[in-house]
A and B are shown apart, each in its own frame.
Chain A
Amino acid sequence: MVLKAFFPTCCASADSGLLVGRWVPEQSSAVVLAVVHFPFIPIQVKELLAQVQQASRVGVAVLGTWCHRRQESEESLGHFLEGLSAIFSHEPWLQLCRERGSKFWSCKATHRQVPASPGAPGQDQVMLIFYDQRKVLLSQLHPPAALPDHQAGDATASAGGLAAVFDTVARSEVLFRSDQFDEGPVRLSHWQSEGVEASILVELAKQASGPICLLLACLLSLISAASTSRVFKLWPLSFIWSKLSTCEQLRHRLGQLTLIFSTQKAENPAQLMRKANMLVSVFLDVALGLALLSWLHGKDRIGQLADALVPVADHVAEELQHLLQWLMGAPAGLKMNRALDQVLGRFFLYHIHLWINIIALLTFHIYCFYVYGARLYCMKICGLSSLWRLFRGKKWNVLRQRVDSCSYDLDQLFIGTLLFTILVFLLPTTALYYLVFTLLRLLVVTVQGLIHLLVDLVNSLPLYSLGLRLCRPYRLAAGVKFRVLEHEAGRPLRLLMQINPLPYSRVVHTYRLPSCGCHPKHSWGSLCRKLFFGELIYPWRQRGDKQD
């Protein structure tokens, strides 16, 4: 197999020295983490590597030599470097060499032991892959969705070659802690050798977060203890709490805040992202709320809204009255049964008259009308279906839950048929009222549903992850991509490995927060069925409600 040498781009201009990194025999790849410069004492280098190995549990070793010829006459360096392979024995021994001013490198990998089969060469072909150490260290690889019958342990064990590279670099952070200004025994070259990266704000925040989290966690536990006290369990308070969506939202946010400010550290990156997403979501919620409040308070808009609300309610009631008058006449040219029409119309008109005086409950009367219309229609349909069965000489067997044949007496048949015809001819009138009110109710439900969806969106959208994907795309990696660099025949192949960021849809899918989600529990088919038979529809059910 071709030997792959992963070389950090920051070390490409470093002075000659020893290559330090990890050798992965299964993929025949050498991951170079740093370069040790002259002068050094071999014992100290070995000690440092042993320390790093213990701290990071990564098999760091000396992989070979790196030779950067700045002047023409450095032949002696070459011989010196070859002698080093006797001191630090590693199988295979890598020798990378770069001429001054040349873009092309020469690579050699030699095996000490001669292999058993005579045909195989003692030297391997080498492929150079450059990688950006900082980006690979900070990024998190998202493998494609695992098969459902797999366990998490299997996935990491059979991780591909590239996941091993990412893993190696991420775990060797200990090696990158010292920079060139430190007075250590060994001089290393890596991405932080120009100076360790740190931010004062981040450090201060880390120091301050401990006590702040503790304080807030205590406060939140007090609040949640108070809310679960006996007082709030009494009816009707518990009923109100469960119905108001504000309380539902408050409970959801309280749970999220408790999780954010808990004193436990996040165990893995996924949990950390979730905490960050929740925090940003809470901030956005508060910010939107404050913006809305300030907009409402400015220029006395609340007063204007309130003033506009009462005439709107009156307008709705007036329109409903017109609608009922139209139904009581000859709606759409249909001929209604006069007497029934008048009864139904007057019944509903009386309700409007009642409600218009109480409060501007905009749509409560629509809901009531829908319920009455639906119940009436439902009764009618039940009666019709039962009498239709009688008409055909059949019966519904309650015991066996099926339709059976039945022999009726003559007078039963006569009365049944009579009632059937009456119901059939009254059907258009009831059906029309039912249709109109159901449509109005569906309109109201749609508006409610849209508001609900919006709240859900604000709750569950992972804004921190989306922002990270926008500003630091290398942090969330879906994979890698390779670019072939300039190539000369006879020289080893040089590739540049870059990080392929995760697409936005996968970011949302992976990091979406669990919403307090009330989802419609009907499919379109069952909804149509319920509408046809006149059963009542309750589209939005909170979790924990009993089934109707």
Chain B
Amino acid sequence: MEAEQSFSDICGGRLALQRRYYSPSCREFCVSCPRLSLRSLTAVTCTVWLAAYGLFTLCEKSMILSAAIFITLLGLLGYLHFVKIDQETLLIIDSLGIQMTSSYASGKESTTFIEMGKVKDLVINEAIYMQKVIYYLCILLKDPVEPHGISQVVPVFQSAKPRLDCLIEVYRSCQEILAHQKATSASP
């Protein structure tokens, strides 16, 4: 079962949340971030090239211009491959674990899988981010030493930063699975 809804992130950009229910024990949530805007790309390129042209008129070396083109290309490739995240996915599988995937604009994917035995709970936390107070979804990991302690807090959807309404949808869905998981693991 697939459903798509549109939400907004903390800066006001448009996000799309895609939900896929594969089975009662497996669900996937995919948040897609706003794409690279042509306007900002043009603005950055123009600034760099104007600066290079200014230097060129001062120094009369044509290597500055080719260096500027080179830098722009490399910078764009580096940005697309290492910085710009297109989509963030959360896959939750009952009694197996939670998997978070970030796919970059260049196609690279980076995945983290957390086993269900290590997951204590999934909560929505509040945080002060610059001048804003924002909500973020995070996974609490169990502390192996102390049974009631928390060893790590892993935030989810870090680049997309959706707002509370989107987070509540994801939270409710995941809690259904986690509750089922806790019920079955508690019984002998």
A interface residues with partner B (beta carbon < 8 Å): 1-2, 4, 27-28, 125, 127, 129, 147, 149-150, 154, 158, 160-162, 479-482, 484, 487, 493, 495, 500
**Interface residue? B70 (CB, 8 A):** no
Q: Is B145 part of the binding interface, using a Cβ–Cβ cutoff of 8 Å?
A: yes
Identify whether the interface residues of A are mostly helix, strand, loop, or mixed: mixed
B22 interface neighbour in A28, A125, A162, A487, Cβ under 8 Å: A487
Q: Which of B9-17, B37-45, B92-100 contacts A (4 or more CB under 8 A)?
A: B92-100
B144 A4 Cβ-Cβ under 8 A: no
The winner among B22, B94, B112 for most chain A CB atoms within 10 A is B22
A1 touches B115 (CB 8 A): no
20 sample A-B contacts, Cβ–Cβ < 8 Å, listed by A number: A1-B95, A1-B184, A2-B25, A2-B95, A4-B95, A27-B95, A127-B95, A147-B145, A149-B145, A150-B144, A160-B115, A160-B118, A161-B115, A482-B96, A487-B23, A493-B23, A495-B96, A500-B111, A500-B112, A500-B113
Answer yes or no: B88 CB below 8 A from chain A CBs: no
Please name all residues of chain B whose beta carbon is closer than 8 Å to the beta carbon of A481 when the two chains form the complex: 99, 101, 111, 113
Q: Are A484 and B145 in contact (CB under 8 A)?
A: no
A-B contact count (CB 8 A): 62
Interface residue from B25, B118, B144 paired with A147 (Cβ < 8 Å):
B144
B91 part of interface (Cβ distance < 8 Å): yes
Closest to A478 in B: B112
- 6 further A-B contacts with Cβ under 8 Å, apart from A1-B95, A127-B26, are A2-B184, A4-B96, A161-B117, A479-B112, A482-B91, A500-B113
Specify which chain A residues have a CB less than 8 angstroms from the CB of B185 in the assembled complex.
1
- A3 to B, closest residue via Cβ: B95
Check A127–B25 contact: CB distance below 8 A: yes
- Contacting A at CB under 8 A, from B53-107, are 91, 93-96, 99, 101
Residues of A within 8 A of B111 (CB): 481, 500
| A484 engages B113 (CB within 8 Å) | no
Does the CB pair B99–A493 fall under 8 Å?
no
State how many angstroms separate the Cβ of B17 from the closest Cβ of chain A: 18
Main secondary structure of the interface of B (DSSP, over half): strand
Give B109 Cβ to nearest chain A Cβ, in Å.
9
Q: Once the chains bind, are A484 and B26 in contact (CB under 8 Å)?
A: yes
Q: Which residues of B contact A161 (CB under 8 A)?
A: 96, 115, 117
Q: Closest chain A residue to B116 by CB distance?
A: A161
A-B complex: 7 closest residue pairs judged by Cβ atoms: A481-B111, A160-B115, A493-B23, A1-B184, A2-B95, A1-B95, A487-B22
Q: State in angstroms the CA–CA spacing of A125 and B26 once bound together.
A: 13
Shortest CB-to-CB span from B21 to chain A, Å, is 10
In the complex, chain A residues whose CB is within 8 Å of the CB of B117: 27, 160-161
**Pair A2/B144 contact, Cβ less than 8 Å:** no
Task: Let me know if A482 and B23 touch, CB within 8 A.
Answer: no
Q: B94 near A2 (CB under 8 angstroms)?
A: yes
Q: Is the CB of A125 within 8 A of B113?
A: no
Question: Which of B23, B26, B145 has the most C-beta atoms of chain A within 10 angstroms of its own C-beta?
Answer: B23
Once the chains are docked, how many angstroms separate the CA of A129 from the CA of B93?
A: 12
B151 within 8 A of A: yes
A493 touches B112 (CB 8 A): no
Known A-B contacts A160-B118, A493-B26; the reply to A127 vs B112 at CB < 8 A is no
**Which residue of chain B lies nearest to A491 when distances are taken between CB atoms in the complex?**
B23
Minimum distance in angstroms from A320 CB to a CB of chain B: 32
Which chain B residues lie closer than 8 Å to A500 at the CB level?
111-113
Of A127, A158, A479, which one neighbours B144 at CB under 8 angstroms? A158
A29 to chain B, nearest CB (A): 9
Task: For the complex, give the distance between the alpha carbons of A177 and B118 in Å.
Answer: 36
Q: Indicate if the CB atoms of A482 and B113 lie closer than 8 Å.
A: yes
How far, in whole Å, are A374 and B15 apart by their CA atoms in the complex?
A: 64
Q: Report Cα–Cα, A344/B76, bound state, in Å.
A: 57
Q: Which residues of B contact A28 (CB under 8 A)?
A: 95
Give CA–CA (A479, B111) in the complex, Å.
9
Q: Are B115's CB and A162's CB within 8 A? A: yes
